[in-house]
A and B are shown apart, each in its own frame.
Chain A
Amino acid sequence: MLENLKAATFEVLETMFFIFPEGLEEAAGLFHGPGLRAWVPVEGPKNFRVGLTLPLTLAREMAANFLGLEKDEIPPEKMEDVVKETANMVAGSFLSKEQVPEAYNLKPPEALRLDLDSQDWQENSHHLLLAVEDAGLEVFLEKTK
């Protein structure tokens, strides 16, 4: 399951953003400063969410690549919209790769700001930690109620 989540993430980042993440052990040490978390609720026989967490610096770079603008031209709301859309694409690609039944539906993405220094960063069976140059990128799959 995590392999498909990883493949979905790589597919989205490489195709839409020309960003090439790496799975590095030291990725856990790359989460600093203000960050953004975006996720897509998936509703069906079981509810879960697929999402990602990243520093604002990386979010800004992704938005600049996505929109073909300079980094300092990106308004905060566009940055958030791009990260939500990224979560949406990762979730869609993941569901396809997992061949999840049609009873599962993607809901509109949500997002929140957070301080990355106040969180613990550990890779496990449902959280994948990646490195994009000197920034961390968490991709997660979590059960919800």
Chain B
Amino acid sequence: MAYNVLIVDDSATMRALVRKVLKISGLDLGECFEGANGREALEILEKNWVDLVLSDLHMPEMDGAALVKALRQNNLWQTIPVVLITTEGRQEVLAPFFQDGIQGYIRKPFRPEDIREKLQSILGEAWVPHAGELEGCDF
């Protein structure tokens, strides 16, 4: 089963980097959508099915916190796994997001292996064992 992923970050270069890491990670990747903030993410979700959301926290217009709340309040989207990819590392700031049902977070700066390991723990069966060799990869 190929997984459709939505990457939400106001930095186009960070979205490109995450997309690149996903491609080489071994995840059975289907469509990869991108949004620059929570509002754009919701617009994409209105038109497309997504199996996983990777979202930044601090974004203009609609931030990651508002996006997580919107997803959890929607019957169709409330079960989509959400992983935050964020510069935020303060546990007291991150704790409420776990109460809102996020599956985890990856702190920037990250190594490609950090993304692979986190997603593997969430989407275990989605992994393609022979694909994605990140050791020594200069993404």
User: B43 on the interface (CB 8 Å rule)?
Assistant: no
Chain B CB within 8 A of A82 CB:
yes
Whether B109 contacts A81 by the Cβ 8 Å rule is no
Contact B16 A67 (CB under 8 A): yes
Nearest CB on B from A8, distance (A): 9
- Known A18-B138, A89-B109; contact A96-B90, beta-carbon cutoff 8 A: yes
- Chain B residues 86-122 with CB under 8 Å of chain A are 86-90, 92-93, 107-111
Query: What are 23 A-B contacts defined by CB distance under 8 Å?
Result: A16-B108, A16-B109, A66-B13, A67-B17, A78-B12, A78-B13, A81-B12, A85-B11, A85-B14, A88-B87, A89-B109, A92-B89, A92-B108, A93-B87, A93-B109, A96-B88, A101-B92, A102-B92, A106-B58, A106-B88, A108-B58, A108-B59, A108-B60
| Minimum CB–CB distance for A68 against chain B, Å | 6
Q: How far, in whole Å, are A29 and B93 apart by their CA atoms in the complex?
A: 40
Interchain CB contact under 8 A, A96 and B13: no
A91-102 toward B: CB 8 Å interface, digit per residue (1/0)? 111011001111
Residues of A within 8 A of B17 (CB): 66-67
Q: Could you tell me if B109 and A15 are in contact, using CB atoms closer than 8 angstroms?
A: yes
Q: A108 contacts B10, CB within 8 Å?
A: yes
- Cβ of B69 under 8 Å from chain A: no
